[in-house]
Amino acid sequence: MKKALLLWMVFMSISVITIAQKIEVYPTNWWVGMKMNSIQLLVRSTTDEFSSDKVTINYPGINVLKTHQFTNKNYIAVDITIAPETVPGEVIIQCMQKGKTKNIKWSLGKRKAGLGTEYAQGVNSSDFIDLIMVDRFSNGDETNDKVAGMRDQALNRKEMYDRHGGDLQGVINHLDYLQDLGVTTLWFTPILENNMDNRTEHGYSITDHYKVDARYGGNELYIKLSNQLHQRGMKLIADIVYNHFGSYHFLAQDPPANDWVHLWPEYTQTSYREQALFDPYASKADRKKMSDGWFDKMMPDINQENEYMANFIIQNSIWQIEEFGIDGVRLDTYTYNNLEFANKCNQALMTEYPKLTIFGEAMVHGVVNQAYFEDNNINTPFKSNLQSVVDFQSLYYGIIPALTQPFGWTDGVNRLYYTLSSDFLSKNPMQKVLLLDNHDEPRFFSVVGENAEKQKIGYQWLLTCRGIPQLYYGSEILMKGFKAPDGLVRSDFPGGFKGDEKNAFTGKGLTDAEKANQELVRKLANYRKKSSAITSGKLMHYVPVDGLYVYFRYDDNQTVMCVMNTANSSKAIDFAKYDERTEGFKTARNVISEYQLDVSAVATIPAMSMWVLELQK
């Protein structure tokens, strides 16, 4: 442990910063009327130590239960309860420094109206998510491109790992475009402060859990964006990270004790082998390396078994939802967490916000592996309460092989069929988040060999299959790139920045193929909004035959037939073969082309194409 502590001291020495004397309290504020009315305040002084752990709060309804001191005397933890009858106001917290009483102001607010209806309302299969990297979408305020005092002053759009200047105002400026495209929900990679030396464009190295990065516009602008979304009937997803934070976070630079992050005798990265967590033959060493190893050298791995650190993360997660009006939560690097802690934090969120949607990133290989981390039907000693996951299996072992492999017993579109047929493992398959690409995956257009017809099939599948479809910004206009390295899949959205020759918001400079795919997404996404069969209906599919895959979305009011031909030749479609779903219908309207087919006749679908047909009587 001495060696580990020495290495930790060396690690902390990477930065020496001068901070004016002040005392901070986390959470920075709270609200009356919360179900979580027993909280733990972490009080931190940036200079003078606290003389004792004595803390006094003389505010009606607030009771101090217990205080805690640490080896680092700059911290005190204070357990308080907030009675139901407590009124909002400014709370004075009194503590001792150098034998003198210090008064600290702490705000207790009134909860916003509309819980479960205007915020924390959940995201479901009727929604269409757009995943946006704010730095790469649109620069709406050039005055915040560089912020004095922040470490990363890089601003160069020609360098993929420098900042490019996108911000929340840029998103606000283009809400009309997003809504017209059919998007109902926005999900940003983390927008909390990342005051790191470099690589701050992605947002996953958080250095302050209570501040929206000033280069994005700060807390007030994020609240403004949230309000505008809700006024439009749209929703907001927060990307929350339980697993780690940035190395310049104050809890890394100046921890209350040396057990707030996982320390190793030397830098130890996670094995990325999730199998160790459920493998009945796994060693303890492999389990520990998977869960306690660091995701990256600049991302200390949080020790979630430390009750104070755990409280900090749980309370902050609730704070973000309440402060910013969040509707759903995506949990980053979910498989690397202490899963018992993750269950505890998830439950705290669901107790406070019963309609909230929570889905996790489980970037694993194998349907069973993925199901282990979500609410499932598997009999295992550990049971996850995570509502759902990003469905990487339907990507890796579904739509990608369907469009890139020749048809075979276990290849081509049969892979998609096999993967979907394993939905019995999951409690909530309709809550799985479907994707073609994201900030960590190659652009789908590149994966399918820049074949525009395959891209169209991909989007028709995305918008009609079970689950919640997720777009990655720019893929609607055929943005491309392989992740070698990952910066190549994080290019700027055309038209979001001054001087762009191409503008995807207006259509200026787009090729015919780019316009056609954008229009397909727009038309089908908006059709989808009004389709009860797709948004809440059942799924029935037929065993693929010679590259032809047929599935139906249906309910009592509507039937939608989806025909995917992945073969290199045209195929005959005899509607009578699917009479379990087609019987009683006379025509089939292609919702993209508007072309009508006679259900009593045999139709021919061209090679490598897809139809989305609404059946009509």
DSSP 236-263: EEEEE-SSB--TTSHHHHS-SSTTSB--
317 belongs to a structural domain: no
- What is the reported pLDDT for 484? 81
Give the pLDDT of residue 12: 45
141 & 231 share domain: yes
Q: How far apart are CA 14 and CA 253, in angstroms?
A: 9
Are residues 518 and 595 located together in one domain of the fold?
A: no
pLDDT at position 487 is 87
Cα–Cα distance, 479 to 466 (Å, whole number): 25
Q: Would 289 be classed as within a structural domain?
A: no
Catalytic annotation, pick one of 162, 332, 476, 492: 332
For residue 163, which phi and psi values (nearest 5 degrees)? -75, 150
Q: Which pair of tokens denotes residue 148?
A: 């004095």
CA distance 388 to 467: 10
Q: Which of 166, 181, 211 is nearest to 193 (CA)?
A: 211
Residues 385, 389, 394, 396, CA torsion sign = negative
Q: Which tens digit of pLDDT belongs to each residue from 129-181?
A: 999 999 999 999 999 999 999 999 999 999 999 999 999 999 999 999 999 99
State the helix-helix crossing angle for 307-324 and 339-352, rounded to 10 degrees.
30
Q: Do 522 and 540 sit in the same domain of this protein?
A: no
Alpha helices in 413-483 (DSSP H): 413-421, 444-447, 452-462
Q: Which residue range forms the structural domain that includes residue 44?
A: 2-109
**With contact defined as beta carbons under 8 Å apart, do 130 and 178 qualify?**
yes
Percent of the residues in the chain that have a pLDDT greater than 90, as a whole number: 95
**103 and 31 share a domain?**
yes
Residue that is written with structure tokens 């609200």 in the block: 31
Mode of pairing for the β-strands spanning 538-541 and 596-598: unpaired
The phi and psi torsions of 298 (rounded to 5 degrees) equal -100, 15
Is residue 165 within 8 Å of residue 157, measured between CB atoms?
Answer: yes
Residue 491, helix vs strand vs coil: coil
Q: Are both 415 and 521 inside the same structural domain?
A: yes
Q: Is residue 502 included in any domain, yes or no? A: yes
Reading the block at residue 150, the tokens are 């922040």
What average pLDDT does this structure show over 279-308? 98
Token representation of residue 20: 């004016």
Distance of CA 401 to the CA centre of its chain: 25
Residues 6 or more apart whose Cβ sits within 8 Å of residue 36:
315, 318, 348, 351, 352
**Are residues 612 and 564 both part of a single domain?**
yes
Task: Tell me if 41 is assigned to some domain.
Answer: yes
204 lies in some domain: yes
Q: How many whole angstroms separate alpha carbon 107 and alpha carbon 227?
A: 22
Residue 116 domain flag: no
Range list of β-strands (E), 488-566: 538-541, 548-554, 559-565
Query: What angle do helix axes 218-231 and 307-324 make, rounded to 10 degrees?
Result: 50
Query: 76 and 6 in one domain?
Result: yes
Whether residues 228 and 84 fall in one domain: no
Q: What is the CATH number of the domain that holds 564?
A: 2.60.40.1180
Between CA 198 and CA 313 the distance in angstroms is: 24
Indicate which CATH number applies to the domain containing 435.
Answer: 3.20.20.80
Q: What is the CATH number of the domain that holds 58?
A: 2.60.40.10
Mean pLDDT for all residues in the chain: 96
Mean pLDDT of 259-279: 98
The answer to whether residues 104 and 166 belong to one domain is: no
Helix (H, G, I), strand (E, B) or coil at 468: strand
∠416-422-427 over CA atoms, to 5°?
A: 130
Which is higher by pLDDT, 9 or 401? 401
Same structural domain, 612 and 492: no
pTM: 0.95
Asked whether the predicted pLDDT for residue 448 surpasses 80, the reply is: yes
Query: Same domain, yes or no, for 47 and 168?
Result: no
Nearest to 489 by CA among 497, 481, 499: 481
Is residue 480 included in any domain, yes or no? yes
Residue 5: pLDDT band (50, 70, 90) is very low
The last residue of one of the domains, among 60, 77, 109, is 109
The pLDDT of residue 13 is 43
**Structure-block tokens of residue 493:** 């959205």
Query: Any idea which residue has 């005959």 for tokens?
Result: 572
Q: Are residues 6 and 100 in the same domain?
A: yes
Residue 1 vs residue 53, higher pLDDT = 53
Provide the CB-side half-sphere exposure for 469 (13 A, CA): 28
- Cβ atoms of residues 438 and 444 within 8 Å: no
Contact status, residue 171 vs residue 220, Cβ threshold 8 Å: no
* Tokens standing for residue 65: 């239960």
Q: Which of 109, 142, 173 lies at the terminal end of a domain, its last residue?
A: 109
Q: How many domains does the chain have?
A: 3
Contact present, 398 and 436 (Cβ < 8 Å): no
**Percent of the chain surpassing pLDDT 70:** 97
Q: Which of 301, 323, 361, 374 is catalytic?
A: 361
Average pLDDT over residues 231-244: 98
314 domain residue, yes or no? no
Q: What is the pLDDT of residues 334-375, one digit of tens each?
A: 999 999 999 999 999 999 999 999 999 999 999 999 999 999
pLDDT band at 594 (very low <50, low <70, confident <90, very high): very high
Rounded CA-CA distance 222/237 in Å is 12
Question: Which residues make Cβ contacts (< 8 Å) with residue 48, sequence separation at least 6?
Answer: 21, 74, 97, 98
**Confidence at residue 281, expressed as pLDDT on a 0 to 100 scale:** 98
Residue 332 annotated among the catalytic residues of the structure: yes
- The alpha carbon of 585 is separated from its chain's Cα centroid by a whole number of angstroms, namely 40
Check residue 19 and give its pLDDT: 37
